[in-house]
Structure 1
Amino acid sequence: MLKLFRFLKRYRLFVALVLVFVFLQTLADLYLPTLMADIVDKGVSQGDKSYIWKIGGFMLLVAAGGGLCSIAASYFSAKAASGFGKLVRSSVFSQVENYSLQEFDKLGTASLITRTTNDITQVQQVLIMILRMMVMAPMMCIGGIIMAVSKDAKLSLVLVVVLPVLAGAIFAVVRKATPLFKAMQKKLDKLNLVLRESLTGIRVIRSFDRIEHENHRFDAANSDVTETAVKVNKIMAFMMPLMMLVMNLATVAILAFGGHRIDNGDLEVGSLMAFIQYAMQIMFSLLMMSMMFVMIPRAQASAVRINEVLDLAPSLTDRKDAVQTNASRQGYVEFKDVAFSYPGAEEPAISNISFRAGPGEVTAIIGGTGSGKSTLLSLIPRFYDVNEGQVLVDGVDVKSMTQQHLRERIGFVPQKAVLFTGTVADNIKYGKEDATEEEIKHAAAIAQAADFIGSMEQGYDSVIAQGGSNVSGGQKQRLSIARALVRKPEIYLFDDSFSALDFKTDAKLRAALRSETGEATVLIVAQRVSTVMDADRIIVLEEGRIAGIGNHRELMADSEVYREIVASQLSEEEIA
C-alpha cells in the first residue's frame, strides 16, 4: 500500500495540515481532564466560584479549539483522500486503456471493474483513517499514560494489568478477521462477473429460458459474499462489547483502588476523575489502533490488486524510435510470412500469411469458422503483435509506428457492433470528433442508415441506449459503418460487418462503398460469398493458412476450398 502513497505527493500540503490539526486536537483532548481536576480540587472543594468560572471558561475555549481542529483535520483529510482516489482511478483507467487484448484476457473485465471501483474506495477510506488516527492514537495513548502517571503513579499499576489484556483481545480479533477481509475482495470479483454476464447476456438468457439458472448463479455468488461479510461482522461485533467490558472493569478497579487512595489522603477526587478519563483515552486509542489493524489488511489486499494493474506493462508499446509521420500515406497493406499464436494456444491461429492490398482495391477474406479471418484483420491496427513475419503499411512495419499514428489512418468496423450512450450523431462523430453535420449525414447515407435515422423521433439527436439496446442488429452495424466512413481513412477494415444486413441492403451498401472508398484500401472479412464475389482479390483461409488467392473466377477454377464454400451457399443457377 505504501507504493500507492506516491499519488499523495500532490496533496502533501493537505497531509501536513491534517497532521498539525490532529496534533493540536490531541493536545486539547489531553489537557481537558487536567483542567477538570483543577476545577474539582481547587474550585469546588475550596468553594472558589471565581476560579471555577475562570477555569471553566478556559475549558470551553480549549474544547472549542479542539473541535475546530477536528473539523479542519476532517476536511483536509477528506480533500487529500478524495484527490488521492481521483489520481489512482485516473492512473488505473489510463493504464487499462493502453492494454492490449492480451492483458484484458489475463485480468478479466469484471476484475478490472472491481479494482477500479471497490478496491480504490477501500484504500481511500483507510487513508482517511490513517491520516486521522495514525497520529492521534499513538499520541493519545502515550500522552494519556504520561498524564495518568503524573496524577498517581501507584494507581497506574491498574493500567499495567488492563492494557496487555486489552491489546491481546484486539490482536486475537484482528488475526481472525484479516483473512476474511482478503477473501471478500475475490468473492466480490466473482459476484461482479456473474452480474455483468447476466446483464449483458439477458437476451440469450431469456431466449433459452435460463432466468432461474442465472438467479441460482447470482444467489450462490451473493450468498458467498454475504456469508463472508457476516462472519467478519460477527467477529467485529464481538470486539466492541469485549472492549467495553474491559474498560468498565478497569473503571471499577480504578474507583476501588482510587477510593482507598483518597481515604488515605494520597489522592484527591479531581485527580481520580482525571485519571479515569485518561484511562478511557488510553483504551480508546488502543481501540482506534485496532480498527486500523483490521482495515489496513483489507486495504492492503486491495492495494496489491491495484498495483497489479499499474505494474502490468502493456505488451504492445511504441518504440522509442517509432515513426510519428509518414511522407507516403497511400494505404498499402502487406503481410510477409506472418504467423500469430494466442497466449497459451497449442497451435498458431494463422501461419505463413503473405499478401498485398493497395489503394482502390477491395480485398476480401473468407473461410470457415475459426480459420483466422478476424485474427488476421486485428493484426493490422496492432490489437496483437505478430509472432513471426511482418505487417507493413506503406512499406513500414506497424511495430515501427506509433499506435496513434497507425490507428488514425484506419477505419475499423468490428465483428460485434459497439455503440455508446449518447445521440446517433455522437456515435457517428466518434470516428471524427470535428465532423460537420453534412459529413455525418453523408456517412449515414453511404452506410444505408439515413432512412431509419430519419424515421426516429428526433432523427440524428435521438438517444442511443447503453450498448445500443434500442436499435436492431442491422442498424447497429450500419451506424458502426457510418462511424468508420466519416473518418475518411486510407484503410478500411470491415470485420464481418454485413452479417446482420439483408441481401438487398448488403448489395446497396457495397455499391455505395465502391464509390466512397475508391481511393482507399479496403479489407473485408465476410461469411457470405455474395459479399465477396465482386472483390478485386479474395483470400481463402483454412485452418489459419491461405488456401487460395485470386478473384471469384480464378478461385472457382483453382481452389477446391472456395468451391465448397460457394456450393454450400449458392444454387447451381447462381454459380453459373
Structure 2
Amino acid sequence: MSTATTPRPTPASSPPAPSDASRPAAPARRGPAARERLPGPAAGPAPERSVRFRASALRLLGELAADRIRLAGVLAAGVTAVGLSVLSPLLLGRATDLVIRGATGPGGVDHPAVGRYLALSAAVVAGGALFTWVQQRLATTVVQRAGHRMRARAQAKLARLPLAYLDGQPRGEILSRTTNDIDNVTQTLQQALSQTVRALLTLVGVVAMMFWISPALALVALALVPLSLGLAALVGRRSQPQFARQWAVTGRLGGHAEEMITGHTEVAAFGRRDEAVRRFDALGEELYRAGLRAQTVSGLVQPAVTLVGNLTYVLIAVLGGLRVASGTLSIGDVQAFVQYSYEFNGPVNQLAAMTGPLQSGVASAERVFDLLDAEEERPDPQRPERPAGPRGRVSFEHVSFRHVPDRPLVEDLSLTVEPGRTVAVVGPTGAGKTTLVDLLLRFHEPTGGRITLDGTDTAAMSREELRSHIGMVLQDTWLFGGTIAENIAYGVPGEVSRERIVAAAEAARADRFVRTLPDGYDTLLDEDGNGLSAGERQLITLARAFLSDPVVLVLDEATSSVDTRTERHVQRAMSALRSGRTSFVVAHRLSTVRDADTIVVLDGGGIAEQGGHEELLAAGGAYARLYQAQFAAG
C-alpha cells in the first residue's frame, strides 16, 4: 500500500520537481486557513537565555571531525605554507648582509651568492603561495561538507519532531534556523579554518624565528600580547549576547514576513496592511539596533589590537637600531626581525578581526543546536509488528490524550470500526475530531489506552508501516513545485504510469479541467498551486487519494473547498473510493455524512452519541441540534 496521500505537513523550503528517490515534504500550513490544532509551545519571541559560547564553539568544531583526513591535510598544507613563508625574511636578511659586507669590504659584493639567496627566497614565496591555495581548497571542502551534513541532520530532525513542536513554531523561524543560521555557521567555519588556522601557525613560526634571531627582542614583541588578548576577550564577552539577539530577531523577522506573505489575502481583506508594515518596521528597527550594537562592540577589537601592535613595532625598531649600533646584531638580522615583527602583528590582527564573525557564528550555531537537540517523538519499536493481511479493522480502546496535563482533549474513548465501514466524525469545534485522526496516524501518541489496526497495536508498528495503510485528504490542500502528474503521483513510491494517473484523475472528476490547461498533465505548478481554484486544487489531492489505494481512508473536510455541484460529483467519486475500505470522514457540513454507516458525535473529548443519520435525528440529541442549527434557515 502507499503512504498517506496528503502527509502531515513539515516545514521545508519549496523543492524542485521530485524524483522517485526524493519526494518533497509538505510545508506546515499556518495562518487563517490552518487546520484545527492542539495547543503547542508559544511561537513568540525567543526567550532571553544565557549564552553557552565555549560549549557551542567546541561542538561546532566537532562538526568538522567527520573529515579527519582532510583536516589533517589542511594542517599539513598550512604548516608547509607557513614554514616556507617564514624562511623568506631570513633569506632576504642574509642577502642584505652579503650586500653590506661586500660594499664595505675589499672583495666587493658576491653577486652570484646574492642572486642565489634572492632566487631561493622567490621559490620559497611561490611554494608558500601554492600550499596556501591547497590549504584553502581543502578547508573549503571540509566546511561545505560539514554544512551539508548539518542541513541534512536538520531536515531529518524535522521529520522526527512531534507535531506540537512544529505547530508551536512559526515556519519562518524554523526556515531561518535551517537556512540563514546554517549559512552563517558555514561562513564562520570557512574563515576560522582558512584564516585562523593559518594565523595561529604563522604566529608559531614567526615567534620561533624571532627567538632564533634575538631572544631579547622576541620577549619585547611578546610582552604586549597578553594585553591584546585581554582586550579581545573583554570585547567578545560584551558582543556575544548582542549577536545572539541579532539572530533571534532575524528569525522573528523572517517568521513575520512569511506569515504576511502566506496570508496576504486576509491581511488585505481585513485592512491590516498598515499594521503589518508597522510590525515589520519595528522588527527591522530592532534588528538594525541589535546588529549595530553587535558590530560596534566587536569592531573595537581590531583598532585596539592594531594600536598595541604598532607600539610593539616602534619598540622593536628602536631597540634593534641600538643593538646594531652596539654590534650585537647585524643590519640583516634587524631587517629580518622587523619584517617578522610586521608578520607577527598581521596574524594578531586577523585573529582580532575574527572575533566578531566567531561570535556571530557561534550565536547561529546555538540556534541550530537548539533545533537539533529538541525532544523528538517517541522512536519506533526496534522490532515493529505488522498486521497480517490488513483488512482495515480499527479499534480505539479506552483512548485518552491530553497535550497539557490539566486539559484533556480525548478522555476514555472507545470505538470499533469494522472493515469496509464508513464512520463520520462530527461535533462542535474543539470537540477532538482532528485529534482523533492525529492519534490514528500517530501524529500524537495516546496518553492512555491503545489503538489497533487489525488487532495489532499501532504503537507496536513503525510509523511508516502504519501510514502506508492509510490514505488522507486534508481540508487544506498542499501542492509542490512540479507538474500536475507529479503531484497526483506523490503518494505512490516508484514510477507511476501515465495511464494510472489519468485514471485516478478521471475518478476524482479532475481530468476534465486538467485537459483544458495548456500543457495538460505536464502543466507546472508552484508550491501554492497558483492558477488553479481552491476546488481544482482539492480535486488533484482527491486524485492522489484514488491512486494510493489505501486500506483505511481519512477524509478531513475533503469537499469544503468545492462548490455544491462539484461536491455532488466528488461525493459520488468518494463513495466509489470508500467502497471496500474503512473510512473516517471528519466533517462540519452534515449534508456530506448522511450516507455514512455510523455517525459518531464527539463532544468534550468523548463520544456523545453514535448511530445512523435517521436514528440520531429521531433521538433529538446532540446530532439533531447540530443538524437543525445548520439547516434551520432552510
TM-score w.r.t. structure 2 length?
0.85
**Matches of 2:222 and 2:465, distance apart in 1:** 70
Q: What aligned pairs does 1:250-289 form with structure 2 within 5 A after superposition?
A: 250-289=312-351
**Matches of 2:62 and 2:295, distance apart in 1:** 32
**Matches of 1:539 and 1:71, distance apart in 2:** 71
Match of residue 235 from structure 1: 297
1:294, CA displacement in angstroms? 4.1
Name the stretch that deviates more: 363-372 or 106-115.
106-115
**Matches of 1:154 and 1:6, distance apart in 2:** 39
1:351, CA displacement in angstroms? 1.8
Match of residue 305 from structure 1: 367
Instruction: Indicate whether 1:149 and 2:211 are aligned.
Output: yes
1:523, CA displacement in angstroms? 0.9
Question: What amino acid maps onto 1:110 in structure 2?
Answer: G
Match of residue 132 from structure 2: 70
Name the stretch that deviates more: 89-98 or 148-157.
148-157
Q: What aligned pairs does 1:328-347 form with structure 2 within 5 A after superposition?
A: 328-342=389-403, 344=404, 346-347=406-407
Question: What amino acid maps onto 1:93 in structure 2?
Answer: Q
Match of residue 510 from structure 1: 571
Match of residue 91 from structure 2: 35
Contact 2:172 2:259 (C-alpha < 8 Å) held by counterparts: no
Question: What amino acid maps onto 2:172 in structure 1?
Answer: A
Name the stretch that deviates more: 7-16 or 275-284.
7-16
Name the stretch that deviates more: 274-283 or 119-128.
119-128
Which of residues 540, 548, 557 in structure 2 aligns to 1:487? Answer: 548
Match of residue 53 from structure 2: none
1:130, CA displacement in angstroms? 3.6
Deviations 1:224-277 (A, max 9, x none): 122222222223433333333333333233222322322333332222221112
Q: What aligned pairs does 1:42-121 form with structure 2 within 5 A after superposition?
A: 42-46=98-102, 47-105=109-167, 108-121=170-183
Task: Report the structure, 1 or 2, having the larger helix content.
Answer: 1
Q: Provide the secondary structure at the position in 1 that maps to 2:206.
A: helix
**Matches of 1:307 and 1:244, distance apart in 2:** 35
Question: What amino acid maps onto 1:168 in structure 2?
Answer: G
**Matches of 2:60 and 2:315, distance apart in 1:** 45
Match of residue 528 from structure 1: 589
Instruction: Indicate whether 1:405 and 2:465 are aligned.
Output: yes
Contact 2:424 2:599 (C-alpha < 8 Å) held by counterparts: yes
1:367, CA displacement in angstroms? 1.2
1:345, CA displacement in angstroms? 5.9
**Matches of 1:558 and 1:267, distance apart in 2:** 111
Question: What amino acid maps onto 1:14 in structure 2?
Answer: R
**Matches of 1:396 and 1:181, distance apart in 2:** 51
Match of residue 561 from structure 1: 622
Unpaired segments of 5 or more residues in structure 1?
none
Contact 2:399 2:448 (C-alpha < 8 Å) held by counterparts: yes
Which of residues 225, 228, 233 in structure 2 aligns to 1:166? Answer: 228
**Matches of 1:318 and 1:337, distance apart in 2:** 22
Which of residues 491, 497, 510 in structure 2 aligns to 1:431? Answer: 491
Which of residues 603, 612, 620 in structure 2 aligns to 1:551? Answer: 612
Name the stretch that deviates more: 169-178 or 392-401.
169-178
**Which one scores higher on RCO, CA 8 angstroms, separation ≥ 6?**
2
Question: What amino acid maps onto 1:511 in structure 2?
Answer: R
**Matches of 1:162 and 1:406, distance apart in 2:** 67
Going from structure 1 to structure 2, the CA distance change for 1:142 and 1:10 (only over 3 Å counts) comes to closer
**Matches of 1:436 and 1:158, distance apart in 2:** 79
Match of residue 391 from structure 1: 451
Name the stretch that deviates more: 23-32 or 313-322.
313-322
**Matches of 1:200 and 1:258, distance apart in 2:** 69
Which of residues 410, 415, 431 in structure 2 aligns to 1:355? Answer: 415
**Matches of 2:312 and 2:570, distance apart in 1:** 85
**Matches of 2:167 and 2:568, distance apart in 1:** 36
**Matches of 1:106 and 1:213, distance apart in 2:** 23
Match of residue 24 from structure 1: 80
1:195, CA displacement in angstroms? 1.5
**Matches of 2:145 and 2:507, distance apart in 1:** 47
Q: What aligned pairs does 1:186-265 form with structure 2 within 5 A after superposition?
A: 186-265=248-327
Which of residues 369, 378, 382 in structure 2 aligns to 1:320? Answer: 382
Name the stretch that deviates more: 157-166 or 452-461.
157-166
**Matches of 2:407 and 2:226, distance apart in 1:** 63
Deviations 1:428-480 (A, max 9, x none): 10011333212212222222222221222211111112222332222222211
**Matches of 2:188 and 2:101, distance apart in 1:** 46
Name the stretch that deviates more: 395-404 or 170-179.
170-179
Unpaired segments of 5 or more residues in structure 2?
1-55, 103-108
Q: Provide the secondary structure at the position in 2 that maps to 1:379.
A: helix
Going from structure 1 to structure 2, the CA distance change for 1:246 and 1:553 (only over 3 Å counts) comes to same
Contact 1:174 1:290 (C-alpha < 8 Å) held by counterparts: no
Name the stretch that deviates more: 270-279 or 241-250.
241-250
Instruction: Indicate whether 1:459 and 2:515 are aligned.
Output: no
Match of residue 439 from structure 2: 379
Question: What amino acid maps onto 1:450 in structure 2?
Answer: D
1:213, CA displacement in angstroms? 1.2
Question: What amino acid maps onto 1:37 in structure 2?
Answer: G
Instruction: Indicate whether 1:539 and 2:604 are aligned.
Output: no
**Matches of 1:228 and 1:6, distance apart in 2:** 29
**Matches of 1:50 and 1:236, distance apart in 2:** 51
1:21, CA displacement in angstroms? 0.4
Q: Provide the secondary structure at the position in 2 that maps to 1:349.
A: strand
Deviations 1:86-139 (A, max 9, x none): 112111211211222023245553332222222222332333334334543333
**Matches of 2:91 and 2:221, distance apart in 1:** 22
Contact 2:172 2:257 (C-alpha < 8 Å) held by counterparts: no
Contact 1:99 1:316 (C-alpha < 8 Å) held by counterparts: no
Contact 1:114 1:189 (C-alpha < 8 Å) held by counterparts: yes
**Matches of 1:385 and 1:300, distance apart in 2:** 35
Deviations 1:9-52 (A, max 9, x none): 54222111111000011111211111111111123542222122
Q: How many residues get paired?
A: 571
Question: What amino acid maps onto 2:413 in structure 1?
Answer: I
Match of residue 420 from structure 1: 480
1:67, CA displacement in angstroms? 0.2
Calculate the aligned-residue CA RMSD, in Å.
2.1
**Matches of 1:179 and 1:123, distance apart in 2:** 17
TM-score w.r.t. structure 1 length?
0.94
1:7, CA displacement in angstroms? 4.7
**Matches of 1:365 and 1:537, distance apart in 2:** 9
Deviations 1:487-545 (A, max 9, x none): 01111100111111222221221112222331111111111111011111111112222
Deviations 1:350-401 (A, max 9, x none): 2232222233322111111111111111211111111112211111111111
Question: What amino acid maps onto 2:595 in structure 1?
Answer: D
